[in-house]
Amino acid sequence: MSEPLVFMMGKFAAHIPVDRTYFESHLWVMPGTGNLRVGFTSYAVRLLQDVYFLDWQIDPDTVVRKKQSIGEIESSKAVSTMYAPADGRVVRFNEALMNDPSLINADNYDKGWLYEFETTQPLLSPADYVKVLDAGWEQTQRVLKNQFND
């Protein structure tokens, strides 16, 4: 496997594997068991920090629209709503996360995958995803500084 791309988040290196594609919403996409397997990128995991609770608001085999609320995730930083990354169908969830959502923190690119998905929407190459990160990093830093200054 090729070396991952790296995006520096200050002193933290967010690794972007080149063996998969990406959504702008900081999710990686890789062929799974006949569908696309979806998970959080290391960039997203770093912003979330320690994930300890996950709740899906839809059932498996549900057709979704881009930006439709599909669940909630709770971490040491906040409770966040998860949205569908594109029009498509959520086929099934990673059942292991229901018992141990910390797999997202420990192994986000393998055992910590979120769900399997079907979509015909275009996906980003690893290099294009790094461009998205680079374009949004200054704004992200401002948001983070405001969170810590409250």
The confidence score (pLDDT) of residue 149 equals 46
How far is residue 99's CA from residue 134's CA, in Å, rounded to a whole number? 35
Give every residue of the chain whose pLDDT is below 70, as ranges.
1, 140-150
The confidence score (pLDDT) of residue 140 equals 67
How far is residue 72's CA from residue 4's CA, in Å, rounded to a whole number? 29
Strand partners, 54: 73
The count of domains in the chain is 1
What CATH number is attached to the domain comprising 46?
Answer: 2.40.50.100
The confidence score (pLDDT) of residue 32 equals 72
DSSP letter, residue 26: T
How would you class 115 by CB atoms within 10 Å of its CB: exposed for 0-12, middle for 13-18, buried for 19 or more? Answer: buried
Q: Which amino acid is at 133?
A: L
Which structural domain, as residue segments, surrounds residue 80?
Answer: 5-149
